[in-house]
Structure 1
Amino acid sequence: MNRLFRRFALLVLLAMTLASAVIYLTFRLLFGDPLEQIARRQAAGQIFLLEQYIDQAPADEWLPRLNKVREVSEVTLELQPLRATLSSLPSRQHEALLRGELVIDVAGKAYYRRVDTTGTRYIGSDEDVIHAGHLPIDIGEALGMEAIRFAVIALFLLVPIGWWSRRHWRGLQALSKMADDFGHGNLSARADVARSASIAPLAGRINEMADRIAALLEARKHLLHAVSHELRTPIARLEFGMELLRERHAGDDEALQRRLQAMLADVEELKALVEELLSLNQLDHAEAMPRQAFAPTPLLRACTPPQGAHEFNASIADDLGELHGDARLLARAINNLLGNAAKYAQSRITLTATRGEQLHIVVEDDGPGIPADARAQVFEPFYRLTRQADHAAGGYGLGLAIAARAIRLHGGDILIDASPLGGARFTVSI
């Protein structure tokens, strides 16, 4: 909320400052310098003396009256040459002075005016300028009043802006919390925003979107669950019927037996696929899992790749501490990674586990590796790389998806990069 309010406050203050500058320049262009007008009002008494007392004297009395004012006034009144005065004033004031107008010097707290323009007061009076100094001009007071006015207006603007920012920020926090909860699997999470809030229409759209997504995911969950369970029955019937058929034709030719055996293998693959689908479906919709403390060291030492012609090396530290989670689920994730490595390794597979701030489990192989642009996609269900080795290795593209889901449920992450052995390296951090 503070960040949002600071930005609004800074924007308002900058806008007010710019508006004040524009107003000042506009008034100066249309009506003259406002500061000079303030100074003229403050020096109105001295100007009155000049225009209504000194200037009203006959020509031979003008200088005596000027001297009388000098004696009783704190203002200094001096005569100085016109040329010297013009050189000391800004060029924009020259024409006014030459016309005989009174010119205010705000910074010097003084005014200038020609004695006359005809030379009738005394010989050479048209070449002299009367300079009044030490006038009671205090622009600082006027500027202080303007600053107070500026501060009061800013305060009355920023208070409602702060109130609005607080309500707006609370609404944004509600949306953010709802997005976090929904992203972590709580499909019932919705944004709770008052109808009067400025983001209420947005919150309503987001809640509608969440309803549709939750409905789609729930439908997908029920579909996968129903299909998987419904497939089990015909698969069991096929398996039972083929076993009876194999026993009945046990003495028949060898080709028929091989064919029956291949069909039984296909049925086993179907059973495995159904089990993988059920497992993935359960992990996808698991908002929480039973958590118990367990030691990862013996669990990892029990993990091995499928039997094959690969050299398997495991380097597992003796003290890996404890984890809180589902030991069976984590073991399945690591075995899936080892099984994936066994499909593509040429001769070597390694498993390494160390403990620092996190538990790091690394599975490597010396196979063809995984292209950098496909390393995020291999964790998607049913994703297969478009290369001959993938199809030859078999599988359904679910093993890595199940491993990634299981590791994330333990609060961990899994990354893929190139292994020094030449293949892929899977690094699990929990």
Structure 2
Amino acid sequence: MNRLFFRFFMLVMLSITAATFVIYFAFARLFGDPLEDIGRRQAAAQIFLLEHYVDEAPGDEWLTRLNNVREVSPVRYDLLPLADVRERLDAGQRADLERGAIVLDVSERALYRRVDLSGERYIGSNDDVLHAQNLPIDIGKELKMELLRFVIVAIALLVPIALWSRSHWRALQSLSRMADEFGAGKLSARAQLKRSEIVYPLAERINHMAGRIEELMAAQRSLLHSVSHELRTPIARLEFGLELLDARANDPDLSRRIAAMEGDLRELNDLVKELLDMSKLDSAGTLQRATVDLSALLRDCCATLPPSSQDITCRFGDGLGTIEVDARLLARVISNLLRNAQKYAAGRVVLAAERGPGGIEIAVDDDGPGIPEAERDKVFEPFYRLDRSRDRATGGFGLGLSIARKAVVLHGGTLRVETSTLGGARFVVRLPSSPETMK
């Protein structure tokens, strides 16, 4: 937001500067060089003496009056041959000189003027040019004055613009904070602006949108929560009925069918549990942060894994230390990733963690078939499963990785999948070191 207004002020300043140059070149094109006009004003006294005192003298007194001016003026007056002066001037200046006009050289603080066009002053006066040097011309002073005018105009424009923009900036800051809070999961966040604010209509539309989203999310969570709880009652009844039926069944084939049905019920129970977990993660303020020993938490996750034939290795860097997180959620994330690796690993699973300057990185590697690059973002979508997992051997509902990513994002971190050095998949969790950056 600050950058937006900084760019706005820079645009105003550049516009004023560009306008100044456009005005200068336009006036130079239409009315002549402004610097020459400044020089003529500053040398007005010397030009007046030349035109109204020296030039008004009769022919036999012209040199006498010129010498009188030389004695009292700090300006140096010389007579130069017309041919030499022509070589010093450009075409436009030569034309002015030929018709008897005063030609001003601002950079040299000098002027040129033909003594006489007809030779009446003295013999050969039509071939002489009066050259005045050391004129009291100070362009630098005039440029400083112009710069001061420019600064005053810029301030006169920028101050009201700044006052006008300040209210808009504060209103946009309020909208920005509301958007940040809403994006962080605080769905009740709203922009509080006065009706007089110019962005009030926009804020009203954003608030209406936020309210609608909050209603939809609340309805979704309520439906998911209600359906999940309602499913548990018939599932519990079915489990109880199957236990009674199994106790009375003597037919081995019937027992196998009952066992398969019990497996289906367990899957339904697991699905309901994961749906409820998803619903809780979608609710704001679910994190219960506490300072935990990260190394101990990761080792506990490995210890609670179900027995398997894979070799599970832990590699932790020095100085892992503690971290302020929701220990239950983080343990759920790591357990989900480890169980997922167990499903697909051929023989090895590696859990590694290290603390770096950018935060903490936790990685789970396996030597399984890996995940195609085109599917790596999709595996975090709810209910998305790769083709090879759509059987009873691997099971799953496609919710574990989605729950893991939601939990990591709530902590202000990221979860991504890469290719492992073991040949399979590598899931990398990055968490910020401090809780301030987790918000």
Q: Are 2:233 and 1:233 equivalent residues in the alignment?
A: yes
Alignment CA distance shift 1:62-1:14 (3 Å): same
257 and 318 in structure 1: CA distance in 2 versus 1, 3 angstrom threshold: farther
Partner of 2:179: 179
The alpha-carbon distance between structure 1 residues 257 and 129, as it changes in their structure 2 partners (threshold 3 A), is: same
| Structure 2 counterpart of 1:402 | 403
Amino acid at match of 2:190: R
Q: Structure 1 residues 234 and 134, CA, compared in 2 at 3 Å: closer, same or farther? A: same
Distance in structure 2 (CA, Å) of the matches to 1:133 and 1:319: 81
Cα distance change of structure 1 residues 28 and 395 upon mapping to structure 2, 3 Å threshold: same
Task: Give the 5 Å matches for 1:14-93.
Answer: 14-93=14-93
Equivalent residue, structure 2, for 1:383: 384
Tell me the alpha carbon deviations over residues 268-305 of structure 1, each in whole angstroms, 9 at most, x when there is no partner. Answer: 21121111111111122142333344445554434343
From 273, 288, 291, the counterpart of 2:289 = 291
Q: Which residue in the other structure is 2:224 paired with?
A: 224
User: 1:217 corresponds to which letter in structure 2?
Assistant: M
Give me the whole-angstrom Cα distance separating, in 1, the residues matched to 2:71 and 2:169: 69
Name the SS for the 2:397 alignment partner: coil
Assess if the C-alpha contact under 8 Å between 1:297 and 1:317 holds in 2: no
Cα pair distance change 1:117/1:298, threshold 3 Å: closer
Q: CA, structure 1 residues 146+408, in 2 after alignment: closer, same or farther (shift >3 Å)?
A: closer
Per the alignment, residue 422 of structure 1 pairs with 423
Q: Indicate how the Cα distance of structure 1 residues 17 and 404 shifts in structure 2: closer, same or farther if over 3 A, else same.
A: closer
Is the contact between residue 305 and residue 342 of structure 1 (CA under 8 Å) also seen in structure 2? no
C-alpha distance in 2 between matches for 1:317 and 1:6: 44
- SS of the equivalent of 1:393 reads coil
Q: 1:15 to 1:301 in 2, by over 3 A?
A: closer
Match of 1:267 in 2: 265
Give the counterpart letter for 2:370 in structure 1: G
The one-letter code of the counterpart of 1:276 is: E
Q: Which residue of 1 aligns with 2:329?
A: 329
> How far has the Cα of 1:354 moved from its partner?
5.2
Matched to 2:202, the amino acid is: L
The residue aligned with 1:98 is: 98
Q: How many angstroms apart in 1 are the aligned matches of 2:388 and 2:268?
A: 22
Displacement after TM superposition at 1:246 (Å): 3.4
Map of 2:161 onto structure 1 = 161
| Distance change (3 Å), C-alpha of 1:75 and 1:19 | same
Which moved further from structure 2: 135-144 or 363-372? 135-144
**What is the identity, as a one-letter code, of the residue corresponding to 1:382?**
F
- Output one character per residue of 1:101-123: Cα deviation in whole Å (capped at 9) or x when no partner: 12122223332211222223332
Q: TM-score, normalised by structure 1?
A: 0.88
Counterpart of 2:244, as a letter, is L
Q: Which amino acid aligns with 1:225?
A: H
Q: Which residue of the partner structure matches residue 375 of structure 2?
A: 374
Question: CA deviation digits over 1:308-354, x for unaligned, max 9?
Answer: 44333445689854444444433333222222122212233333455
Q: 1:55 to 1:390 in 2, by over 3 A?
A: same
Any idea what the Cα deviations from partners look like across 1:231-290, whole Å, max 9, x if unmatched?
A: 122222333333333344x12x32222222222221221121111111111122142333
CA-based RMSD = 2.9
* Counterpart amino acid of residue 106 in structure 2: V
1:96 offset after TM fit, Å? Answer: 0.7
Q: Matches of 2:426 and 2:235 in 1, distance apart?
A: 37
Q: SS of 1:363's equivalent?
A: strand
Cα distance in 1 between the residues matched to 2:241 and 2:224: 26
Task: Tell me which amino acid in the other structure corresponds to 2:289.
Answer: R
Shift of 1:368: 0.7
In 2, the alpha carbon distance for the partners of 1:412 and 1:72 equals 86
CA distance in 1, matches of 2:113, 2:316: 99
Task: Give the 3-state SS of the residue equivalent to 2:370 in structure 1.
Answer: coil
Do the aligned partners of residues 67 and 216 (structure 1) sit closer, same or farther apart at CA in structure 2, a change above 3 Å counting?
same
**Secondary structure at 1:282's aligned position in 2?**
helix
Q: Which residue of 2 aligns with 1:363?
A: 364
Secondary structure of residue in 1 paired with 2:29: helix
Cα drift, residue 307 of structure 1:
3.4
In the alignment, residue 405 of structure 1 is paired with which amino acid?
K
CA distance in 2 between counterparts of 1:110 and 1:324 reads 79
The 8 Å contact of residues 332 and 404 in structure 2, kept in 1 or not, is answered as yes
Of 192-201 and 170-179, more deviation after overlay is shown by 192-201
Distance 1:308-1:38 versus aligned 2 partners, 3 A rule: closer
* Amino acid paired to 2:112: Y
Unaligned runs of 5+ in 2: 432-439
Secondary structure of 2:416 counterpart? strand
CA distance in structure 1 between the aligned counterparts of 2:316 and 2:211, rounded to whole angstroms: 46
- 2:389/2:396 contact within 8 Å kept: no
Q: What is the distance in 1 between the residues matched to 2:119 and 2:171?
A: 78
Q: Deviations over 1:169-195 (max 9, x none)?
A: 333332332222112211111223444
Other-structure match for 1:276: 274
Q: TM-score, normalised by structure 2?
A: 0.86
Partner of 1:256: 254
Distance 1:173 1:401 in 2: 33
Contact 1:280 1:402 in 2 (8 A): yes
* Counterpart amino acid of residue 368 in structure 2: G
Aligned residues: 427
CA–CA separation in structure 1 for the residues paired with 2:61 and 2:317:
114
Identity %: 57
With 111-120 and 194-203 compared, the bigger mean Cα shift is at 194-203
- Look up the equivalent residue of 2:245 and give its one-letter code: L
Question: Does structure 2 conserve the Cα–Cα contact (< 8 Å) formed by 1:5 and 1:162?
Answer: no
Alpha-carbon contact 2:280-2:286 (below 8 Å) kept: no
Is the contact made by 2:54 and 2:62 (CA closer than 8 Å) also made in structure 1? yes
- Give the AA of the match of 1:396: F
3-state DSSP of counterpart to 2:163: helix
Q: CA separation of 1:74/1:301 partners in 2, compared to 1, >3 Å: closer, same or farther? A: closer
Deviation at 1:226, TM superposition (A): 1.3
In 2: Cα distance, 1:69 partner to 1:359 partner: 88
